[in-house]
Amino acid sequence: MFYKDERLALFIDGSNLYAAAKSLGFDIDYKLLRTEFMRRGKLLRAFYYTALIDNEEYSPIRPLVDWLNYNGFHMVTKTAKEYTDSQGRRKVDHVVLFSGDGDFKPLVEALQRQGVRVSVVSTIRSQPPMIADELRRQADNFIELDGLKDVVGRPTREGDDTQTYELN
């Protein structure tokens, strides 16, 4: 559940979301994803986490990373900082985590202790499920990725193993 006046932040585990969407037979359109969560609340930031090798001449993920950089996503390659306003208050009410990795459970617990609501987006409809049971149970809300397919998805490209992106 989302509230229109809620300040949102998206945290996307790139490789995990890619694998979950691929297991369900679609690719993520990141422009549509960002638009969908702007509709659900006041989207402050969208972070996309991925591994890049700096000295690699070409990486198949580089075009996606470049597109995300130019279209409102913040690429994270170093330790995150806590953002507060001039009075020391947190700026986020609700975190949407796109990952199924159980290693995020302690982070979800820490955010909840600070009064932040946490929604986790992944899938239980793949075989095996792409979300750790303990992460799904810890989240305030679980959003089934397959349920977002018509809103943020597009068909996969035949024979394409790289993450796709929209150039518009």
- Domains belonging to the chain, first-starting first, are 7-78+89-154 (3.40.50.1010)
Q: Where are the beta strands (DSSP E) in the chain?
A: 7-13, 26-28, 42-49, 74-76, 94-98, 117-122, 141-144, 153-155
Q: Which residues contact 72 (CB under 8 A, 6 or more apart)?
A: 34, 46
Q: Are 153 and 123 in contact (CB under 8 A)?
A: no
**Peptide bond before residue 106 is cis, with ω within 30 degrees of 0:** no
As given in the structure block, the two tokens for residue 160 are 């394409």
* C-alpha gyration radius of the chain: 16
Q: What is the pLDDT of residue 66?
A: 86
Q: Where are the alpha helices (DSSP H) in 3-158?
A: 14-23, 30-40, 62-70, 105-113, 133-138, 149-152
CA–CA dist 47, 91 (Å, integer): 15
Q: Give the phi and the psi of residue 137 in degrees, each rounded to 5.
A: -70, -30
As given in the structure block, the two tokens for residue 12 are 């996307």
Name the pLDDT band for 139 (thresholds 50, 70, 90).
Answer: very high
pTM of the model: 0.79
Q: What is the pLDDT of residues 32-73, one digit of tens each?
A: 999 999 999 999 999 999 876 666 666 777 788 888 989 989
Q: What is the pLDDT of residue 76?
A: 72
